[in-house]
Structure 1
Amino acid sequence: MNTSIKKTLLAGDIGGTKTLLQIFESGGGVLAERRFDSASYASLNQIIAGLLSDFPSLPLAAACFGVAGPVEGGKSNITNLPWQIDEASIAMEFKIPQVRLINDFQAVAYGIEALECQDLATLQAGAPHASGVRAVIGAGTGLGEGFMVWQEGYYEAFPSEGSHADFAPVDALQIELLLYLAARFGHVSYERLVSGPGLVNIFEFLRDSRGQQATVELQAAMKAGDPAAAISDCAMGGKDDLAVAALDLFARIYGAEAGNLALKVLAHGGVYIAGGIAPQIMGKLEDGTFLRAFADKGRFAGLLGDIPVHVVLNPKVGLMGAARVAERIMG
């Protein structure tokens, strides 16, 4: 690859709530970056067309998109949108020689290497192994998971749909929660609990099982906007007992699943907590609830105590990862 010749590339972070697109030059230099409300568009192609209409004669050498769903054969059906994204369709419509779709948490994983110290908050320093496997997990609209393996001088990222594995309750309260949600959904995955909608599910379980109502203020806030954000805001401010209990249970289940992932891939290089929710509840993540659940694995508690745990504070990490892949694949 001749790095002396600048090429123009396109990167995207495609989620159920928002889509971030960036046009940039190889080696740096952002030409444009836009945020779009995903649900307002019929397809990713429509969003790309809107962005590129401002750059009608700009040739693109490559594009990479991190998408919130599994990718098979260059195609993906977005988990929380009625879209199908197709590499070939994008390449043909916009005349881009190289187009790559990757899972959104695969993109987050690639982006980890681009982060700086101020982009991370450390919950547990641990005892990291040089070139050890890294794991990524993050709650937002859904729950994403992935992992990274050191290969030939850099971390290669791999996707996972582990968030859709069976929820495993660890105590009597969580068994009740499982039964409550099983009656509603049938199959209960970790995403049903560790996500924005998952926090609402937990809150509703506690409300119904306790026969207790939220404060008038919280009920109004939940109706007026994002109910998960309203619950977490009230919980962090100690303004509603149900919200406080819901966020505590959320943090315990989040920590437990992060520990599950760390065990499954032996993440001696660290676990990275990404997604939109974590930075908003840092006080809760730092109070020990998350880490106690993370390490509560019986005979393997000591091993988990040695695994570093970091929170990703930079919301553009997925976009950064997609950009790194676009540079790697350009002709």
Structure 2
Amino acid sequence: MPELNHSDAPQPFPILIGDIGGTNARFSILADANSEQEHFPVVQTANFETIDDAIKLTLEKSKVQPRSAILAMAGPVQGDEIPLTNCDWVIRPKTMIANLGIEDVLIINDFEAQALAIAEVADDHRESIGETSENNAASRAVLGPGTGLGVAGLIHTQHQWIPVPGEGGHIDLGPRSERDLQIWPYLEAIEGRISAEQVICGRGLQNLYHAICKADGIEPSLKEPADITTHALAGTNKQAEETLTLFVTYLGRVAGDIAMIFMARGGVYLSGGISQKILPALQKPEFRAAFEDKAPHTEMMKTIPTHVVTHPLAALSGLASYARKPASFGLATEGRRWRR
């Protein structure tokens, strides 16, 4: 085992753990490596001017004061001032250290936390789609349709799990079927391009529904993504039903592409609230059919399991796994860790 350098040394307990999204922030404290996480009520980011204010109020409810912090946030981690993608908060680790009594702050990408979470997923925290197989040391991948489309890999090598973040949600998505070709001209593009995230996320669901309505020559009547999925699952709106069927088909195509990129024989995991809500649609044949339809590698794809993560706090669980056993993960900390 190589000697730990300054940036690789374990963080001191107790550790504040945070999953910071555009709308909600979730916090917990891990008193030591053998403790259960102490969870706190969900924080609405709009109710606090800064993340430091939210942390102060959260810690007032705890008897344990943290010495260090691990925070996962949406967006790239660069520099000493780190803005969040979908809210006004800016994370300033040096200010946290100065004002919150914390001596060690590590900040990572939110989908690195999702990747950490799939290293150890109990059966009761996942729903399998199709056949399952266990290859515990094989690489894995995670996709999360939500506000956007997050993608990350988890590579197993040298007795460590190495999370691989990226911007895989922005890969190109193209038409394949005759119906796709009818719909595609009506999809809202970004600079002339249709990315996976333009279709496979909350607003993407709306984008797809509106395109289907235009292709059918009717006026769209459903306003919110939740309305579309509710009507689709209930079978009460024809265009909503097709929207959800195509949504899971396209998600299957992209999940299959990501599985091949990472050679994810250990499985592809779908995270986030949308995946959980549309589980009945994912369990129909279209998702797996699209996932496996990767000639000339269809037979190989049939052996790769797919799962929906049902853990309500998966990111916090993944961060806690890292906090307990940092040597089990090859997590890059350079340029993302601040110490007093």
Task: Find 1:42's aligned residue among 42, 45, 49.
Answer: 49
C-alpha displacement of 1:128: 4.5
**Equivalent residues, number:** 317
C-alpha displacement of 1:145: 0.7
State the alpha-carbon separation in 1 of the partners of residues 19 and 189 from structure 2. 34
| Pair 1:328–1:96, CA change in 2 (3 A) | farther
Residue matched to 2:273: 276
Residue matched to 2:98: 92
Task: Find 1:29's aligned residue among 36, 50, 68.
Answer: 36
- Tell me the secondary structure at the aligned position of residue 291 of structure 1: helix
Task: Find 1:70's aligned residue among 70, 76, 97.
Answer: 76
| Pair 1:311–1:165, CA change in 2 (3 A) | same
| Pair 1:287–1:32, CA change in 2 (3 A) | closer
Residue matched to 1:323: 320
Deviation digits for residues 146-191 of structure 1 (CA, Å, limit 9, x no counterpart): 1111134342212121102222332343345443335566443211
- Tell me the secondary structure at the aligned position of residue 298 of structure 1: coil
Asked whether the 8 Å contact 2:188–2:198 carries over to 1, the reply is no
Unaligned ranges ≥5, structure 2: 5-11, 327-336
Deviation digits for residues 80-110 of structure 1 (CA, Å, limit 9, x no counterpart): 2233323333333312222111111110111
| Pair 1:327–1:124, CA change in 2 (3 A) | same
State the alpha-carbon separation in 2 of the partners of residues 145 and 74 from structure 1. 25
Asked whether the 8 Å contact 2:119–2:154 carries over to 1, the reply is no
Residue matched to 1:159: 165
Asked whether the 8 Å contact 1:138–1:144 carries over to 2, the reply is yes
Normalising by structure 2, report the TM-score. 0.85
Letter in 2 for 1:157: P
State the alpha-carbon separation in 2 of the partners of residues 178 and 151 from structure 1. 41
- Tell me the secondary structure at the aligned position of residue 278 of structure 2: helix
Task: Find 2:126's aligned residue among 120, 125, 128.
Answer: 120
Q: Verify: 1:146 aligned to 2:146, yes or no.
A: no
Letter in 2 for 1:262: A
Q: Verify: 1:51 aligned to 2:51, yes or no.
A: no
- Tell me the secondary structure at the aligned position of residue 293 of structure 1: helix
Q: How does 1:1-331 map to 2 (within 5 A)?
A: 7-26=13-32, 27-55=34-62, 58-73=64-79, 76-182=82-188, 186-213=192-219, 219=222, 222=223, 227-328=224-325
Deviation digits for residues 213-252 of structure 1 (CA, Å, limit 9, x no counterpart): 456xxx4xx3xxxx11111011001011111011111111
State the alpha-carbon separation in 2 of the partners of residues 178 and 203 from structure 1. 12
Which deviates more from structure 2 when the two are superposed, residues 192-201 or residues 70-79?
A: 70-79
Letter in 2 for 1:48: I
- Tell me the secondary structure at the aligned position of residue 242 of structure 1: helix
| Pair 1:185–1:18, CA change in 2 (3 A) | farther
Unaligned ranges ≥5, structure 1: none
C-alpha displacement of 1:130: 4.3
State the alpha-carbon separation in 2 of the partners of residues 325 and 291 from structure 1. 31
State the alpha-carbon separation in 1 of the partners of residues 97 and 167 from structure 2. 26
Letter in 2 for 1:110: L
Letter in 2 for 1:117: D
Letter in 2 for 1:313: T
State the alpha-carbon separation in 2 of the partners of residues 46 and 279 from structure 1. 32
Letter in 1 for 2:86: N
Asked whether the 8 Å contact 1:169–1:178 carries over to 2, the reply is yes
State the alpha-carbon separation in 1 of the partners of residues 264 and 230 from structure 2. 31
Letter in 1 for 2:235: G
Instruction: Give % identity.
Output: 29
Which deviates more from structure 2 when the two are superposed, residues 75-84 or residues 246-255?
A: 75-84
Report the structure, 1 or 2, having the larger helix content: 1
| Pair 1:74–1:308, CA change in 2 (3 A) | farther
Asked whether the 8 Å contact 2:183–2:215 carries over to 1, the reply is no
| Pair 1:131–1:328, CA change in 2 (3 A) | closer
| Pair 1:19–1:136, CA change in 2 (3 A) | same
Normalising by structure 1, report the TM-score. 0.87
